[in-house]
């Protein structure tokens, strides 16, 4: 696995003044670890997120693209580009009306994890204040919390703090966890339809 997936903490930030399309994930030393580019097309796959290990975007290491899953109307396949392996997927969970929620699926198509706002009350407050109250989102595998996503209020752009430190046993494939964080960051930044 690429060493860019080895960190326990990241900060995903929009790049420059661009509202949609380009992000960078920084490691704990505030050095760029991943470069992310969102592309929209008029034919399938309609939405793709290309994740690169280099700034020139020549070494693509992860692909997140529109896919299909029976449990999720909006769903993304997560593919390790180097091996061509489908790692799993991330889908929007529409059952949670008042909060942002996603499911995490393994390579066999089984739902193994959830991505949900920490508190329904806070989620409602976040919606009512049009994002002034930052979101706090938990990632769980089974009933076990494995990561936290924390939106940071900034004047321009969007920052999402990603913390995998509570997953000491490595129960969540870091590529799937980062894919979920990227989809959340794009959703929060208003660059995606999910």
Residue whose entry in the numeric block shows the structure tokens 């990561």: 147
Q: What is the pLDDT of residues 34-71, one digit of tens each?
A: 999 999 888 777 889 999 999 999 999 999 999 999 98
The pLDDT of residue 17 is above 50: yes
Burial of residue 117 (CB within 10 Å: 0-12, 13-18, 19+) is buried
The per-residue pLDDT for 93 is 84
**pLDDT tens digit sequence for 68-92:** 999 898 899 999 999 999 999 999 8
From the list 174, 157, 156, the residue with the least C-alpha distance to 165 is 174
Q: What angle do CA 88, 143, 134 make, to 5 degrees?
A: 80
Q: What's the angle, vertex CA 187, arms to CA 167 and CA 181, rounded to 5?
A: 15
What's the pLDDT band for 176 if we cut at 50, 70, 90?
A: very high
Q: How confident is the model at residue 154 (pLDDT cuts 50, 70, 90)?
A: low
Per DSSP, the residues of 7-39 read -SEEEEEE-TT-SSSEEEEE-TTS-EEEEEEEE
Selected residue with higher pLDDT from 184 and 26 = 26
Q: What is the pLDDT of residue 123?
A: 46
The phi, psi pair for 43, rounded to 5°, reads -135, 160
Average pLDDT across the chain, whole number: 85
Structure confidence at residue 68 (pLDDT): 92
Average pLDDT over residues 157-174: 91
Confidence at residue 153, expressed as pLDDT on a 0 to 100 scale: 65
- pLDDT above 80 (res 27): yes
Domains, the chain, with CATH or none:
3-188 (2.40.160.200)
**CA angle centred on 39, ends 157 and 74, rounded to 5°:** 95
C-alpha span between 81 and 159 (Å, rounded):
26
Helix (H, G, I), strand (E, B) or coil at 110: coil
Closest Cα to residue 180, out of 70, 68, 83, 91?
A: 91
pLDDT for residue 100? 73
Mean pLDDT, range 173-189, rounded to an integer: 90
pLDDT digits (tens, 9 = 90+) for 92-149: 887 755 567 899 999 999 999 999 886 555 544 545 445 555 678 999 998 899 999 9
């Amino acid at each position: 696995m690429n060493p860019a997936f080895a960190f326990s903490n990241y900060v995903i930030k929009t790049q420059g003044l661009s509202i949609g399309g380009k992000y960078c994930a920084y490691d704990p030393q505030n050095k760029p670890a991943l470069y992310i580019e969102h592309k929209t097309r008029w034919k399938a796959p309609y939405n793709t997120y290309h994740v690169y290990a280099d700034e020139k975007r020549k070494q693509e290491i992860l692909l997140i693209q529109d896919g299909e899953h029976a449990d999720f109307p909006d769903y993304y396949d997560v593919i390790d580009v180097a091996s061509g392996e489908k790692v799993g997927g991330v889908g929007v969970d529409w059952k949670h009306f008042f909060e942002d929620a996603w499911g995490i699926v393994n390579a066999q198509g089984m739902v193994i994890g959830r991505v949900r706002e920490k508190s329904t009350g806070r989620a409602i407050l976040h919606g009512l204040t049009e994002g002034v109250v930052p979101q706090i989102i938990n990632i769980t595998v089974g009933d076990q919390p494995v990561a936290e996503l924390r939106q940071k209020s900034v004047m321009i752009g969007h920052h999402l703090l990603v913390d995998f430190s509570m997953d000491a046993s490595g129960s969540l494939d870091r590529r799937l966890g980062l894919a979920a964080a990227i989809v959340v960051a794009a959703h929060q930044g208003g660059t995606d339809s999910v």
